[in-house]
Amino acid sequence: MAQDGTGDLNGTDETPIRQALATLGKAGGTIVLKPGTYLVRSVLRLRSNVAIEGAEGVVLRLPSPTVTTAAAAKGQALLQVASAAEMAAGTTVEICPPGRKTHFPKDQEQPLRLKLQAVEGNRLRLAEPLPRAVPAGSRVGYRNNVFFVGGSDKNITLKALTIDGGRAKGIAMPGHTHRCALLAHGRYSYGHGPQAPPIENLQVLDCTIRDCYGRAAAMYLVVRGRVERCRIANLRDEAIDFDHFCTHCIATRNHVTDAATGVTINDGSYCLVEHNRLERCGVGVTVWWWHMCPQPNLNVENTIRHNTILAPRRAGISLGRKCVRNIVIRNRVDGGGIQVVETDNVVRDNTLQ
């Protein structure tokens, strides 16, 4: 697959990758991307037994958001924006109010999600009229993640890709489960736990992930997930997240700088975090319990060892309420210290500066 006409599928957005995924179908296989920048305006859904591999010069990027330069009245179908160069007709954008708020302030309504009929210079022609007024300075961008894995899919690998989240200086956009490089989400409920078999054997290897509003790799109800030898930088949210009901996941030999947390384990168990270098994060490594989950054996028997944590803004390592039987050994923590709430944990042989 290439952008220069030499491959079977070509293009400068996610379309050829989507076509390749459709061609593989249920049988699975490996997609190899040739150098070029692929703008991802719509999420790429990965199924079982698929690998996507890149090389130097391969970049998958979320388009950067922009802002409206003039107010638009209710019923209007045209938006004037600072830049529309990365927007395309037929795609769906999210419109958020000015500043950092998620909801429009007057009536606390949700952000707007509207389809673009056409892009005319720095004007966006909408496929339908605005249902409410949009003030000048409102933020306009794509809401999707780059990759999504759901259901109970298994044996999926992302390797040697550069993923750019399109984070723009001075424009704050909602993140968390949106605008991530990878979101993997099995079926569960907070109150009753897993509702289907987990996602299994999901690997992110040798990737560079940067400038995301959301997370680099967020995994929910994943067994044997792995993030290894990745370079992750400048994230508004968490870098590596083993979230609700993840088990036996591994984060190893990654280099994370400037993220909300380096590695998060939230209601995950039996996970391993080792040999990572985590610099200037809010917290280096955190394990914590979400109060909506009453199930037993959450946040237990995780091992955090041989990590180097430099200049965290808050804690180097943090183990919260109901996090027990975890092991924290032989880590180097320069700043922030190690914070542990419960006594039933092993914390020893760490070097604190």
pLDDT tens column, 15-45: 999 999 999 988 999 999 999 999 999 999 9
Over 61-109, what HEC string results?
Answer: ECCCCEEECCCECCCCCEEEECCCCCCCCCCEEEEECCCCCCCECCCCE
- The pLDDT assigned to 172 comes to 94
Backbone angles phi, psi at 25, to 5 degrees: 60, -150
- Predicted confidence (pLDDT) per residue in 332-342, tens digit: 999 999 999 99
Residue 210: phi and psi, rounded to 5, are -145, 160
Lowest-pLDDT range of 55-64, 101-110, 264-273: 101-110
pLDDT at position 5 is: 53
How much is the pLDDT for 44? 97
Average pLDDT across the chain, whole number: 94
pLDDT above 90 as % of the chain: 91
Query: And the tokens for 190?
Result: 């907070």
**Per the structure block, which two tokens stand in for 279?**
């610099």
Residue 73: its pLDDT value, please? 95
For residue 109, the model assigns a pLDDT of: 80
pLDDT at 9: 59
284 pLDDT tier (thresholds 50, 70, 90): very high
Q: Is the pLDDT of residue 106 over 80?
A: no
CB-CB contact of 82 with 93 (8 Å): no
pLDDT at 200 over 70: yes
Model pLDDT, residue 81: 97
- 105 pLDDT exceeds 80? no
Q: pLDDT band for position 107 (50/70/90)?
A: low
Where residue 3 falls among pLDDT bands split at 50, 70, 90? Answer: low
Could you give the percent of the chain with pLDDT greater than 70?
Answer: 96
**The pLDDT value given to residue 32:** 94
Residue 7 has pLDDT above 90, yes or no: no
Residues 295-317 have pLDDT tens digits of 999 999 999 999 999 999 999 99
Residue 190 DSSP class: T
Tell me which residue of 259, 213, 262 sits closest to 242, measured CA to CA: 262
Range with the lowest mean pLDDT among 171-175, 260-264, 300-304, 308-312?
Answer: 171-175
pLDDT at 298: 97
Question: In the predicted model, what is the mean pLDDT of residues 120-145?
Answer: 95
Confidence of residue 180 (pLDDT cuts 50, 70, 90): very high
Cα-based distances in Å from 126 to 49, 89, 104, 139, 230: 38, 9, 19, 15, 39
First-to-final CA distance of the chain: 49
